[in-house]
Amino acid sequence: MMTPEEIRAIEIRLGYLFLEQGLLLQALTRKAAAQEQRQKGKQCEDQEVFRTLGDAVLKAILTDLLIQKGYTTRGGITQKKEKLEKEESLSAMLRAMEITPIVGIGERNIGVHEQSLALAETFEAIVAAIYKDGGYEIIKNLVVKWFSPLIEQ
């Protein structure tokens, strides 16, 4: 599905080298692509469960970051966090990193790999993969790096 060089290039753009690159591949792989690989007799995990974990990890880190940046009310934190984690913001971040999900043939034909929803879901899955591979402090540092410029705008 991906060459070692392609994987390394993504890791460099993320700013994180995986100990277990299979976690990155799972985070990048949409359900349709995984099903196609399984039909060929290959073992392949998809990003679905990672999206849920990544969403939760991202919410926790962003909430903590906003408090550190001086947001002091629940309403203020919630409002800014919702802007940061909305589909358009997450997909824009992944586009800026030039990372696209691994999609199935049918999804590729209709351009799913370029759609904001697929990119946002992949971003959340990547957050989960880094969390699982490197732990909370590593992903926290990366999220702070990625989102601080957006918070200060």
The single residue listed with the structure tokens 């957006």 is: 150
Amino acid at the residue 85? E
Coil, strand, or helix at residue 29? strand
Q: Output the six-digit token pair for 100.
A: 């696209």
**Active-site residue, selected from the candidate residues 55, 107, 121, 133:** 55
For the question of residue 55 being annotated catalytic, the response is yes
Do the beta carbons of residue 43 and residue 115 sit within 8 Å?
no
Using CA atoms, how far apart are residues 41 and 68, in angstroms rounded to an integer? Answer: 49
**Active-site residue, selected from the candidate residues 46, 121, 124, 133:** 124
* Partners of residue 102 on adjacent β-strands: 29
- Give catalytic residues, as residue numbers: 55, 124
